[in-house]
A and B are shown apart, each in its own frame.
Chain A
């Protein structure tokens, strides 16, 4: 059951240039949230920007009623969000969407994220660690200045592999290079991915070529966030039938085989 709540901001810090980590006291949401879900955030009190912003849950702490959001300033909404301070109230809908599914009899998992796409993967890694199956994590960034909370990821992954496009930290290149190596050399049963669409397409192709199950977390423009407006359409295939599904409800996490990628 989703909620509309007024959370209380209890922390806001810049995690990398233009990227913020906000902690919010929202016990109703923290109690129910699963890795991969999101909250729909009201960023201001005026009509500009008009809509809420969907932001994935970067931390979930039900014991203390906290959630955390890692977000990048991209436009007016996130700029307003970055201007909010501890003690302020924030209007949230959530938890929303279908998160990552941990299949029964889960084997070894690999978690891969690119850029801001790493955000929803931290609670997933923590959940995997909590059930005694810490995963391999591959995190890809543009350069060393854009690394995000790497220590937190390292603390809950069995193994952490870093890549940067310019080679200023970790391995030089895209995150998909170590992915291919890992899948060929270790017995993984599932891949969880979040990042830009070209990366997700590539991850899907690599996982498919190895016959490994893959779940991808997608982004889309959203108006309502709760399944009413049909704005966040994603073309998917189920049992041979193609149709538009709602990223906010049927997603944001999909079985990669169900997604029909844009050409």
Chain B
């Protein structure tokens, strides 16, 4: 039995350890079964789910950038009904928390999705108001505090599950958005989603991505993400799930010390499908080596000396 407690509580969502997978980078979790046991994870945040199936954006959908990745998948997913009928029963075989990331075209749709997905086997909802790769909804909701509040209230009133609002970094002041979500009843916040970016093919003299712009992720965005977690941790009292460029345990620790109660690994899963497991093991070792009995002692610890 380990002397270290890695368990955390994220706004009512109890995790055996603070390591999650970031939505859109881990499929529904089942794709990763050849590489790890889902039971080992604090939780899996599944692919963004919409009310109707979505085909996604035309290829090319990916461009590699220095220490980063631009993607424009466009929320390709089979829709909520398919998820409930075909995927959730498979997920229920695994002993971890499955958090469903939901995305609506309208405020009402977020409410419908919340009600529909509040079923056994779903541990929490992550409200995606920050996807930069869809035309309707997506980031539009996440850049206006009034809309953030509306969506948050709508989801809260339609579910008994913990509600995590995922914030966009594509704003001038992320703390204003964070406060709007927290004051409207969000149980926790996820940050950050991807940064809006683009790449141009100099030979074709055209944008590389089929949909011109995309979301930047990977180690390149980590300093921006850590800064935003740091700022938001001081602006709101609800827990934060930090993400953005986490590949190693050192990355995860930066987020925790900046104020994240839990972390999510996204693009890091592409480099190493076992990144999450190695981070969990690394967190335990860090705590043991540093005399930390409970990982929660580290949350926001970097703020103390400032």
Contacts and interface: CB of A to CB of B under 8 A. Distances in A.
Contacts of B24: 229-230
Contacts of B173: none
A129 to B, nearest CB: 31
A221 B63 contact: yes
Given A221-B61, A227-B27, A228-B27, A1 B34 contact: yes
A201 B208 CA distance: 22
A47 B67 contact: yes
A50 B219 contact: yes
7 contacts: A2-B35, A93-B273, A227-B27, A229-B270, A230-B27, A230-B76, A232-B61
Question: Which of under 10, 10 to 19, 20 to 34, or 35 or more describes the interface residues of A?
Answer: 20 to 34
Interface string B235-261: 000000000000100000000000000
A31 interface: no
B73 interface: yes
Interface string A193-223: 0000000000000000000000000001111
Contact of A233 (B26, B59, B66, B267): B59
A243 B267 CA distance: 25
B271 interface: yes
Interface residues of B, number: 37
Contacts of B55: 243-244
Contact of A2 (B34, B47, B56): B34
B62 A221 contact: yes
Contacts of A228: 25-27, 31-32, 269-270
Contacts of B86: none
B273 A226 contact: yes
Contacts of A51: 64, 69, 270-271
- Sorted nearest first, the 5 A-B pairs with minimum C-beta distance are A228-B27, A231-B62, A47-B67, A227-B31, A221-B62
Interface string B28-44: 00011011000000000
Contacts of A243: 55
Interface in A31-86: 42, 47-52
